[in-house]
Structures are given as structure tokens and as C-alpha cells.
Structure 1
């Protein structure tokens, strides 16, 4: 018979027992690690906090201090804060954080409450009158082409802002055939297919910014930047205001400087408040969005055609990559049926248009 090495048997048994004990200890360690690892509701606390802050910022944007123009800056680009939502969502999914995903409901609901109504097409066919407003640009190298493009829109009422003394004659010549009635007051003008009356400049207290105007040195803009007129329509008189409010400056010394624009907005709001005609249209480059608190004196009296009857956000500036809508058509006593953008011209702004009815 073959002899069995008892020592070898003993060692083999001990090895198996040691192996079993090691496996047991490894299992215990895994259980301890699993128990100490935060669950999905405890993961990503920073992401959850950022999501809540984003939602509160959008909900309480009107409470943000306007020192240094911070409040106006936030409200100007407020729609774009929605882009942080997918970024935070990607982080929450990567961290498998249920708390961060739930926290994201606040900014999503806040953004939808503010801008969800702009996502659909609210336009209706028809309209009694088409109005167009365009900042033609002081540095526009093709005013004649710009005038022809605007005339081709077929608008009955056409407002131009930032008309230089050098280009004024060109606009008057090119638009004369389509628009027999017109008035230019300083840097703003109105061309109409319908008779105009009671036309006058509006003092909006325009002044120079703390660091001067950023326009080209060889371009000189006259003082007046607003006018008021009455358009004779088949449905009765329509008061039209054309305005180009003060510029906004962003620089290290002055910060987000809006003082001139804000004073202009307040003065224009006072002029509109004193207007006797119930039917009013404001056309112009306001150098700000209707979400900006600086325009409360205006937006408390007039409705935005884009908000009421537009398709999307209608961003008009800058023309090459529109990010904000600072060119506005606001109304009172008439109904916006549609609002849209016209193709780019030689300006750094896009023209804005609206169809209105009685």
C-alpha cells in the first residue's frame, strides 16, 4: 500500500481553512465598505446645492442688487442660465446622485415659468398694420442696401435708429418711393405709408457715458434720440414712439454701466404715461431686454409683441450670433398678431417686425 504523508494532509487542510477565513474576512470588508459608502440621496451634495442656488437665482433675480449693474447684467442674460441645467444634470447622473436630480427640478420649473411661454409659436395670420424697427448701425457700410432691404419688407411703418448725418440722405432717397411720409429727429426716424402728424422730438435726457462713446471717432451722432408722432390709420390715430436709449458699457473701471440708459428709460416711461392716446406703439433699440428691471416704467404700460405673438426668443443682437433681444416692439391698445426677425443687413443688429391689429 502507498503511504500517506499525514503532514501533507494536515497542511492542505490548514490551507483550505485559511483560504475560507480569508474569503470571509474579505466579504466582511466589502460589507463594511458598502455600508460606509453614501447612498444615492447622500451623494453629490455640492451639485444639489448648486442646482438649488441656480433655481433661486432665477426665481429671485429681481432681488439681486443692481450695484455696479449686476442686477441688470443677470436679467439681460437670464434665459441663458438654463444652459447650466444640462451641465448639472450630467454631473448628477455621473455621481448617481438622486438628491441632485431632484434639486434640479427647482431651476427647471423656474426657467419654464419665466420663459416656457416663448418656446412655442404664438403668431396668428393677418394683422391691420405691419411695423418694423431697425438699428441701422452708425458704422453701416451699405446704408443704401439696408434701406432697400427694409423697404422690401412691405411694412407700413418703419422706424430707424442710429442714423448718422452722413447716411441720412441715403436713407431718405432710397425710402422715398415706398414711404411718402417721414420724419427724422436727430438719430432716429420714422418712415410711413400713412400720413403723419404732431411729430416732435422726445427729451429722454441722453448724455455721454463715463468713458465716452464707443462709436468710431469719425462718426458724430446728434443729440436727440427719440421722437413721437401720430400715424393716421383707417382704424383711427396711432401714436408711435421711436427711441434709441443710452448705450451699455462693460469695462474694468465702470463695470456694467447702465446709468444713461436707465435715465432714458425712466424719462421715456414718463412720456408714455402722459400720452393721451390709448393706442401706442414703441419701436426702438432699448439696449436691454424686457426682463431688465430698468424698464419697469415702460413695461408696466406696454406689452411686448415678441412675448405676446412671437416664435421663440427673437434675439436681435449681435447680428452674427444673436444672444439678446434689445430691439423691441411694445404696444398698448392694439393686439400683436405676430412678431419675427428680418434677415441681416449691413448693421450689427437684426431688424424686428410685428403685425398688429385693432
Structure 2
């Protein structure tokens, strides 16, 4: 039996308008905006999701250009409008860091560097660090052999030095009171030795310096595995909190960004510059700053990265305004 075409059922749906297309894209923009402004409320359940989001928080800004491109391809006015939300959120969170600043130079220059235990170019690394004319150099991942080589390479520019395990400090000024600080997480072997406390002396005044290398974080079966680092950061925080010297500097590879609330027991005790993005790792394409110079009773006025060495980290230079000035 034939059906008259005039009575056929029309099944074609009407075409969506520019305001109806791209709803999923718009939802994605809303989610990114919420993560940016409320990242501290992301729980550290489900594989330490909160730490993971906070570690790469600035990179959520990539959702803006990618969202615009996807919205144009989808021809969605709704998605284009929604992209304004993560744009506004990113500006709200990071405007202080991108705002131009003219920081004071400070009276103490500290260079911190994870030199990498596979870095064989000691002379070249020392040359890069000395070019910044530092008063203090703190190194992590040094061995007994390379520590001696760095001492020779720094020479008369930094004649005072102390090492402890795999960390060390080389200084223009005299050092005293060097001692190991136990920041081992529970269950870690006693040969794990990654923190040194020493006092820098100048003009009758003193500054306590902690050089530390916290445990690495990994992506594993449990997600973003940070438990060992978090435990070590808590022990370092206890040591800093117990320090009687009013002026304290903490330098080292913390294997964490300062926005990570998991290390808040430490970062709540010290301050850092609020401008710029000084990503230090990995050296080939830095995406996070896990190397830091922080202070209590002094002001870190500026930080910036130095040229690459044979390490997988970039060196970090910090100018500090101390009570000496």
C-alpha cells in the first residue's frame, strides 16, 4: 500500500539555535570557574584530588582559549558567553601575581637549587649559580662527592659551608650551629637524611636557615600520592615553629606548590612573594614551582628562575629584606 507523501509524518527536528548549542561546553566552563574560586574546598579524597587541582591551578586558565575555540567550532553563542566565567575567575584569583611590581632588592640574595643526583656538570652548574652573585646557595640532591666538588667550584665566593645528608648550604657569611633536622615520614629508613638547620651570622645578628628536600609525589594506583610529602612537611613545620630565632628562612625542594593546602601547616608559618609565576620543574617545560625560598621575620621581595643547568630543575633566586637592613 502506498502512502500519500502529503500525509507522511515529518520527523526532522528543528535546527538548534546558537543559544541552544554547546550546553556541555558551557557546563565545562562553569565547572572550571568553580574549581578556580573554590579550590580549597575540593576534598583530598579520591586520590588526593584537592592537591592535584591546586598543584596545577594556574593552568586551568587554558580552559579560556580552548573554550573559545571549541565554542566557535560548535557555533555556540552560549558557550562563548560561558567562557567569560573561568576568565573572570582566573583574573580574580591570579591578578595579584600578574600585576606588575617593582620589588625592593633586599639585602640578602639566596639561590636554591635541586642540582639532581644525576647531574655530572658540577662546574657548569656552579657557574650559573655564581653568576647571580648570591650571598647564600642552598642545594638538594648532593652526594658526599659532589658536595666536595661544589665547595671547590664555589671557592672564595662562598667560603663557608655545611652539608647534611643530601642537602647543603654555601655562604658568604659565617655559619654556626649546624644540625640535622629529622623530617623522615614514619616507616622511612634512617639513612633518609634531607634537612639541615644552620645559623647565618652577619654584623652581630643571626638568621636561622632550614634547607629541606621533602619526599616526591607520584601518580600511582591511589591517584596523586602525597602522603609521605605531607607527613614530612608537618615535621618541618614543627621544627620551624619551634625555632627560637625570630628570623627564619626555609629553602629547598618542597615537592609542592604553595597553594596546596596539604602543606598549610608549613606555609602558614612563613611568607613568600605574591607576584609572578616562577615555575621550576621540569626544566625542559616548567609547569609547577616546587622549589621555594620562604621567610619568617623577613620579607622575600622577589623570586625568579635562573638559566638551566644539568639538572631537571631550574635554579630559583630570591631577594630577601632581613632585619639586617
- 1:24-103 residue pairs with structure 2 within 5 A? 37-67=15-45, 68-103=47-82
Aligned length: 311
User: TM-score, with normalisation over the residues of structure 2?
Assistant: 0.88
For the pair shown, which has the larger CA radius of gyration, 1 or 2?
1
Answering whether residue 141 of structure 2 is matched by residue 162 of structure 1, we say: yes
Q: For residue 238 of structure 1, what is the aligned residue in structure 2?
A: 207
Cα pair distance change 1:123/1:337, threshold 3 Å:
farther
Cα pair distance change 1:109/1:334, threshold 3 Å:
same
Cα pair distance change 1:354/1:101, threshold 3 Å:
same
Answering whether residue 311 of structure 2 is matched by residue 333 of structure 1, we say: no
Query: Whole-Å Cα distance in 2 between the matches of residues 269 and 88 of structure 1?
Result: 40
Deviations 1:41-87 (A, max 9, x none): 33321121111111112222222232322221221111111101111
Greater CA drift, 331-340 or 312-321:
331-340
- 1:1-358 residue pairs with structure 2 within 5 A? 37-67=15-45, 68-206=47-185, 222-234=191-203, 236-251=205-220, 253-305=221-273, 307=274, 310=275, 312-358=276-322
Which has a greater percent of helix? 1
Instruction: Say if 2:272 and 2:299, in contact at 8 Å, map to a contact too.
Output: no
Secondary structure of 2:157's aligned partner:
coil
Any gaps of 5 or more consecutive residues in structure 2?
Answer: 1-9
Instruction: Say if 2:184 and 2:192, in contact at 8 Å, map to a contact too.
Output: no
Task: Give the superposition deviation at 1:38.
Answer: 4.2
Cα pair distance change 1:183/1:207, threshold 3 Å:
farther
Instruction: Say if 2:253 and 2:292, in contact at 8 Å, map to a contact too.
Output: yes
Instruction: Say if 2:160 and 2:171, in contact at 8 Å, map to a contact too.
Output: yes
Task: Give the superposition deviation at 1:223.
Answer: 2.0
Secondary structure of 1:238's aligned partner:
strand
Query: Whole-Å Cα distance in 1 between the matches of residues 262 and 122 of structure 2?
Result: 31
Task: Give the superposition deviation at 1:117.
Answer: 2.0
C-alpha RMSD of matched pairs (Å): 2.4
Secondary structure of 2:96's aligned partner:
helix
Query: Whole-Å Cα distance in 1 between the matches of residues 92 and 245 of structure 2?
Result: 33
Deviations 1:81-108 (A, max 9, x none): 1101111122223444333233222211
Task: Give the superposition deviation at 1:268.
Answer: 0.8
Task: Give the superposition deviation at 1:163.
Answer: 0.6
Deviations 1:206-244 (A, max 9, x none): 4678xx9xxxxxxxx952101111111348221111100
Query: Whole-Å Cα distance in 2 between the matches of residues 61 and 109 of structure 1?
Result: 15
